[in-house]
Chain A
């Protein structure tokens, strides 16, 4: 079989010492910048791009890819330890990850996340190896109507993910949806809530919102409750998850891998929805869902596996269709162009050594990351031994710098402060930031996709049901929304019903308004 030969030839490419070295350099840099909130893989790759001019194309892409998926590993660390999610896809990791850290089980959380990331990444690479050409079309079948339906489903999951009072979660999610409307209207150019400020023309960036609400809000809250501040020195010794933890996580890892692989193929929002769906699935499956949000290990394993699997499968559109799924992929596209290779549909046939070299380097890169994680987890966990009086201002500083580096904008730093104050107040009054942030991320996806779809359907909402994927997603939406209701009618559960139908209702209202 010819393709198998190519796969094996790809391994020969990776095992060349230069390529191994660049793979290592890539994942190390990736992991480090993942730890720093703000400075993302896209900016790093842009800065380091000139370094790749002098090497072979395959070597360059191996390193750049390493930065990208290495950053996914690193991002977990700040989410768990400092409650700073650097990307939308790690927001749900914060919920149980940070709760575990506060119980002195940061090592367990990070260890499970590392193992989950490794397995999720590896499953996705295997998928990439054998299924890439088959599933690539999936990304093309997803038009605006499908994204609209997916975003609707995602917003419904937001209410499932919240662990506190349902009403408060819905209020927070509504505020998130409203915040998503800020900025220049992408369809008419009209200004919405920008107050003539050009910095708001593109809307509010995700990072200042997440870092303010989660990170800074937490710091401010802890200042008030000094005695309960992050300090668990004696207990952080167990740097590695026990066999029991791993056994408990195995189901979550399996499900997360599959969800992440398929949703990750979708450019735009796939990874975020994958992590949310993984979390929601674990919570629904759990015998005692109330554990979630208070330190359930599956709540870390599921989403972390899913977002890593998604990061890997997001290479599929680039490598098989020549479509860059996000800014990082666009840069790799550029890196290939500089090398005189045009990434496009013919890449696999014209440059098999490049395609398989990169794919196979990911196997090696994932192993390297897992090996590095073991000692690093122990090292990073010690951060929690630092006294709150020192840790808090340092974290605040990192947050500010991180927010600044995204757009080189002081405005974003001010936003962190504003959202920090809001986060503090929310926590004080028992609101969770999670629903707000997730609804905020999905809000613009929903609005844009919905309006785009309606333009395509000449304003008729019936079009959503004539397309198989969007119709299926909408049916799933109805099932998920109605299921708790049915259960409560049967008398098995009474608590979940109100919010389930309420969230469905609110979303429908929104749809009608937009029409």
Chain B
């Protein structure tokens, strides 16, 4: 394993933070938010730390992506790029908070596509996040959903599922998630009789399939892969538009004739109305980050497929996906909020 040799300001500050904790128990005061940093040289922006908010707890996919991006941006921008976790309401809390901040480029947020495209189908309108409130800077990657079955269920292909007698219990990663939408639409399209069993997140849903508590579930590939490799779960289908590079032998739903392309996309966004030069500098810095070997290796290790499109393309793509999902749920009379 190549060591990611660098001593970014962030690492040094983390070190200082740890020392401070030992000395005076002040780590709590710092939390995840590292203190003020020195100015950049030459350019006017940035002169202080650029904060990246994450609408999920430390440790999840969104969080690790934020930290990988922050690492690279800190290097490129020459200022600290602290990651602040502000979990709540599927990420709506952090996103709305950042959307309300001044558009000066010092506050960024990692967006989850599902928050924009799927969650509005499950929650009331005034709680849904509108992508128009944000300046999307850059698309990052795509994290594919895969339909898995427990070995005890005997399912090896989608056809087995269709031929199964009786009702199938399928685990989802929660209400208003891609996991729920993808399966609800697939089951309707393929005319499979099924009941959704929502879990709190991917890990308990996966555990439930490994333990044969539910016969199938749809979780993100990164979580499922070790269990697939060990033969503890059987992959039936990927919900990506094209075959996933890490699962070349598993067909996609689209190939099987079911029009449910659902993936989790992630992008970096800022409050609406950034000054052009600031925006350009931030995009340049993100571009520099995603071009590094360390970042590419990070994507590979976590089984994220790069989907590095421009901010405008993200807005268009996500808006179209949102409309598509709404049309699908209406066509098949699916109500994500009924559980």
Are B28 and A402 in contact, CB atoms less than 8 angstroms apart? yes
Q: Which of B53-61, B284-292, B315-323 contacts A (4 or more CB under 8 A)?
A: B53-61
Are A338 and B203 in contact, CB atoms less than 8 angstroms apart? no
Give 11 A-B pairs besides A202-B87, A327-B58 with Cβ atoms closer than 8 angstroms: A48-B14, A48-B18, A50-B67, A51-B11, A54-B3, A196-B126, A201-B127, A327-B59, A331-B58, A345-B230, A452-B197
A343 at the interface (CB under 8 A from B): yes
Between-chain CB contacts (< 8 Å), 9 pairs: A140-B211, A184-B123, A198-B127, A324-B203, A338-B301, A405-B32, A408-B86, A455-B196, A455-B339
Are A32 and B226 in contact, CB atoms less than 8 angstroms apart? no
Contacts A268-B204, A338-B301 given; indicate if A189 touches B336 (C-beta within 8 A): yes
B176 at the interface (CB under 8 A from A): yes
A395 to B177, CA, bound (A): 41
A193 to B108, CA, bound (A): 30
A199 to B87, CA, bound (A): 9
Q: Which residues of B contact A (CB under 8 A)?
A: 1, 3-5, 8, 10-11, 14-15, 17-18, 21-22, 25, 27-29, 31-33, 57-60, 63-64, 67, 71, 83-90, 92-93, 96, 122-124, 126-127, 167, 169, 174-176, 195-200, 203-204, 206-208, 210-214, 225-227, 229-230, 232, 298, 301-302, 336-339
Which residues of chain B are within 8 angstroms of A48 by Cβ–Cβ distance? 14, 18
A344 to B232, CA, bound (A): 10
Q: Nearest 10 pairs between A and B by C-beta? A: A344-B226, A140-B211, A143-B213, A201-B89, A46-B58, A345-B230, A330-B59, A187-B339, A189-B122, A331-B59
Are B230 and A401 in contact, CB atoms less than 8 angstroms apart? no
Beta-carbon contacts under 8 Å, A240-275 to B: 267-268
A29 to B14, CA, bound (A): 13
Which residues of chain B are within 8 angstroms of A199 by Cβ–Cβ distance? 88, 93
Are A50 and B28 in contact, CB atoms less than 8 angstroms apart? no
Which residues of chain B are within 8 angstroms of A330 by Cβ–Cβ distance? 59-60, 203
Are A337 and B28 in contact, CB atoms less than 8 angstroms apart? no
What's the minimum C-beta distance from B138 to chain A, rounded to whole angstroms? 22
Smallest Cβ-Cβ distance to A452: which chain B residue: B197
Most chain-A Cβ atoms within 10 A of its Cβ — which of B59, B207, B336, B338?
Answer: B59
Which residues of chain A are within 8 angstroms of B32 by Cβ–Cβ distance? 43, 46-47, 405, 408
Which residues of chain A are within 8 angstroms of B63 by Cβ–Cβ distance? 46
Are A201 and B71 in contact, CB atoms less than 8 angstroms apart? no
Beta-carbon contacts under 8 Å, A260-304 to B: 267-268
A224 at the interface (CB under 8 A from B): no
Smallest Cβ-Cβ distance to A338: which chain B residue: B301
What's the minimum C-beta distance from B178 to chain A, rounded to whole angstroms? 15
Smallest Cβ-Cβ distance to B29: which chain A residue: A401
A118 at the interface (CB under 8 A from B): no
Are A36 and B11 in contact, CB atoms less than 8 angstroms apart? no
A342 at the interface (CB under 8 A from B): yes
Are A339 and B31 in contact, CB atoms less than 8 angstroms apart? no
What's the minimum C-beta distance from A449 to chain B, rounded to whole angstroms? 10
Which residues of chain A are within 8 angstroms of B175 by Cβ–Cβ distance? 184-189
Smallest Cβ-Cβ distance to A328: which chain B residue: B59
Smallest Cβ-Cβ distance to B180: which chain A residue: A189
What's the minimum C-beta distance from B220 to chain A, rounded to whole angstroms? 13
Q: How large is the interface on A (under 10, 10 to 19, 20 to 34, 35 or more residues)?
A: 35 or more
Smallest Cβ-Cβ distance to B200: which chain A residue: A186
A404 at the interface (CB under 8 A from B): yes
Which residues of chain B are within 8 angstroms of A322 by Cβ–Cβ distance? 226-227, 230
Are A401 and B5 in contact, CB atoms less than 8 angstroms apart? no
Q: Which of B122, B123, B226 touches A345 (beta carbons < 8 Å)?
A: B226
A38 at the interface (CB under 8 A from B): yes
What's the minimum C-beta distance from B193 to chain A, rounded to whole angstroms? 12
A32 to B20, CA, bound (A): 11
Q: Which of A46, A50, A334, A401 touches B11 (beta carbons < 8 Å)?
A: A50
Are B89 and A184 in contact, CB atoms less than 8 angstroms apart? yes
Q: Which of B28, B122, B200 touches A36 (beta carbons < 8 Å)?
A: B28
A42 at the interface (CB under 8 A from B): yes
Contacts A187-B175, A188-B175, A407-B88 given; indicate if A401 touches B28 (C-beta within 8 A): yes
Beta-carbon contacts under 8 Å, A191-218 to B: 191, 196, 198-199, 201-202
Beta-carbon contacts under 8 Å, A22-42 to B: 28-29, 32-33, 35-36, 38-39, 42
Smallest Cβ-Cβ distance to B3: which chain A residue: A54
Which residues of chain A are within 8 angstroms of B123 by Cβ–Cβ distance? 184, 189, 191
Are A47 and B197 in contact, CB atoms less than 8 angstroms apart? no
Beta-carbon contacts under 8 Å, A174-192 to B: 184-191
A345 to B84, CA, bound (A): 32
Are B229 and A346 in contact, CB atoms less than 8 angstroms apart? yes
A50 to B232, CA, bound (A): 32
Are A323 and B207 in contact, CB atoms less than 8 angstroms apart? yes
What's the minimum C-beta distance from A185 to chain B, rounded to whole angstroms? 8
A184 to B27, CA, bound (A): 32
Are A187 and B198 in contact, CB atoms less than 8 angstroms apart? yes
A401 to B30, CA, bound (A): 10
Are A323 and B22 in contact, CB atoms less than 8 angstroms apart? no
Contacts A143-B211, A202-B89 given; indicate if A191 touches B1 (C-beta within 8 A): no
A436 to B85, CA, bound (A): 28
A342 to B303, CA, bound (A): 11
Q: Which of A191, A202, A404 touches B124 (beta carbons < 8 Å)?
A: A191
Are B226 and A456 in contact, CB atoms less than 8 angstroms apart? no
A448 at the interface (CB under 8 A from B): yes
Which residues of chain B are within 8 angstroms of A139 by Cβ–Cβ distance? 207, 211
Which residues of chain A are within 8 angstroms of B206 by Cβ–Cβ distance? 323
Which residues of chain B are within 8 angstroms of A54 by Cβ–Cβ distance? 3-5
